[in-house]
A = this chain, B = another copy of it.
Amino acid sequence: MKKYQVVGVGNAMVDVISHAAEAFLAGAGVQKGIMQLIDMPRAVDLYSRIGPAEEISGGSAANTIAGIAHLGGRTAYVGKVKDDQLGAIFAHDLRALGAVYETPLAPKGEGQETGRCIILVTPDGERSMNTYLGWSEHLSPADIDVGQMGQAEWIYLEGYRFDGPDSHEAFAKAIKACKSGGGRVSLTLSDPFCVERHRDAFRKIIRDDVDLLFANRAEIMSMYQTDDFHAAMAAAAAEVAIVACTESEKGAHVLAEGQHWHVPAIPTDIVDATGAGDLFAGAFLWGLTNGHDLQTCGRMGCIAASEVISHLGARPQADLRALFVKHGVLSARG
């Protein structure tokens, strides 16, 4: 048995979550529903204009790893924060779930701080993300522990992490170490505009290395530059062993072994859509590495996604195992 079921690599950050009216987004120049990168002056200005906020650890792959750890999976995370208060919060919240998090903290002092994502949640539950990467963008090959990657059944790579220097090399190092140890590689495309920025790099690792691709409808259509969702999924399935593609309230699609399973979403009142894809991936990977079939993994993903969008914040609050049992995808002993 390998030490880790999943090791995730991504942008480490704390979410700053606030409610906002639709009109506020337009007035503040925030594009709705996507992730936009911002610098520190913009972060300071935007923060000064938003309402009271709550701080909850975030980061896309970190949310995925938190979900796996919450489910009791053996998991680790790699991503950079600084030795500041937000960095301590981020590290605590992963470790408190039992995830291994050993990435060295960037030292105290002036300069960039721990990354944060100012998330504005509109009344429809949609989230508009404004990301100051801070220290997370300095993840470099030196931060990749080849021993750790070699002990992973799966590594999980966050597409957002392609923004910033050294990330491609760090991913290449992680992939090589993982594959050398007999592990497999999963990637999430993260965001349609992230795909726009890094399509060629994504394309290369998808073709060469990725065994499991996570995406949503907009991302996969952007990836394959088509308006035909099913054509995009088919194109992905031709390149990758397993494709898991979410489609919001229409549920998710799993394509593998020449088959296509559709899994319905769990109806929920959406409070905050943040983390839906992250928790889908976390539950899917937990199911996969616990020997569940792909359709069941997809159902687990949809259940976890429905939990995380029912409250503010992108980390699970309810007992996901109990929800799996309730929905009949896990036995009470399982």
Contacts and interface: CB of A to CB of B under 8 A. Distances in A.
Contacts of A93: 52-53
Given A85-B84, A85-B85, A86-B85, A92 B47 contact: yes
Range of interface residues on chain A? 20 to 34
B97 A51 contact: yes
A55 B54 contact: yes
A48 B86 contact: no
A96 interface: yes
Interface in A36-58: 47-48, 50-57
A54 B313 contact: yes
A114 B56 CA distance: 18
29 contacts: A47-B92, A48-B92, A50-B96, A51-B96, A51-B97, A52-B57, A52-B66, A52-B92, A52-B93, A52-B96, A52-B97, A52-B315, A53-B89, A53-B92, A53-B93, A53-B96, A54-B54, A54-B55, A54-B56, A54-B313, A55-B55, A55-B56, A55-B89, A84-B84, A84-B85, A85-B85, A85-B86, A85-B113, A85-B114
